[in-house]
Amino acid sequence: MPDQPFSATRPTRRGLLSLAGASLLAGIVAAPLLPARASDGENGDPSAAATDLIHRYQDALLDVMRRAEALSAVERADVLDEAVRATFDFDRMARAAVGRAWRDADADTQERMAEAFAAYSVAVHADRFDGHSGESFHIDGTAPGPAGTLLVNTHIDRPSKAPVILSYVVTQSGDGPRVVDVLMDGSISEVALRRSEWAAIREREGLSGLIAALKALTGRMLDAA
């Protein structure tokens, strides 16, 4: 498993991406937040609900990692698809990742962008979580996050390597708690990284061009393994 398990490329410019992530989170949660429902965790506790969400997600990852040798990348993606989509709010993440282009797009293009982001993310998971070498997932607790969000702090232990530190930024949606960003090493925003990486093609070819590029990249990741 790589040091940055959710990225197709290694993040750089830590300070810039940290600051960008803080401002992006305000945009991600600009829609009214919903109160925790009674079914969301014991006694409607948002912290318990968010922790349960990440536990289920980690269990799905570990299951695929342990079975990875018997599965192709496409098969890993098929297995992970439901868990990834149930964990992340790709509508909000896509909106933040493409900025003004989202506001200027019609509803159909917004839907296609969110779906392209979701499919790309599933493919990244299938590509990165491609084996098990004794890794173990741990939840280290929760803490208040920026813009009214909740952080679920975690780490992944890896034999003979430094642990991977990940904080999941969780907010409430109509379907319960969902992740709207992942902070690598506690500060590097995954959404800010995507926005930086995609800026050139978005400005050059528009949102439709970015959607096409994401679909092509998704296909290459699944075909390569």
42-48: long-range contacts (C-beta < 8 A, 24 or more apart)?
A: 46/150, 46/172, 46/177, 47/142, 47/150
Count of Cβ atoms closer than 10 Å to residue 61 Cβ? 23
3-state secondary structure 164-204: EEEEEEEEEECCEEEEEEEEECCCEEHHHHHHHHHHHHHHH
pLDDT digits (tens, 9 = 90+) for 80-108: 999 999 999 999 999 999 999 999 999 99
**pLDDT at position 23, please?**
45
Higher per-residue confidence, 1 vs 166: 166
Count of Cβ atoms closer than 10 Å to residue 124 Cβ? 19
**pLDDT at position 210, please?**
98
Q: Number of helices (H) and strands (E) in the chain: give both, helices first.
A: 7, 5
The single-letter DSSP state of residue 66 is H
| Alpha carbons 91 and 213: distance in angstroms, whole number | 18
pLDDT digits (tens, 9 = 90+) for 160-186: 999 999 999 999 887 899 999 999 998
Q: How many CA atoms lie within 13 A of 117 on its CB side?
A: 27
Which CATH code of 3.10.450.710, 2.20.25.650, 3.40.190.150, 2.60.40.3880 fits the domain covering 38-224?
3.10.450.710
What does residue 154 show for φ and ψ, rounded to 5 degrees?
-140, 165
Percent over 90 (pLDDT), the chain: 74
| Alpha carbons 152 and 168: distance in angstroms, whole number | 5
Query: In this model, does residue 11 exceed pLDDT 60?
Result: no
**Best CA proximity match to 121, nearest among 193, 199, 186:** 193
Q: What is the dihedral of CA 96, 101, 102, 107, to 10 degrees?
A: -160
> What are the structural domain ranges in the chain?
38-224
Distance of CA 170 to the CA centre of its chain: 11
Six-digit token string for 52: 């349960």
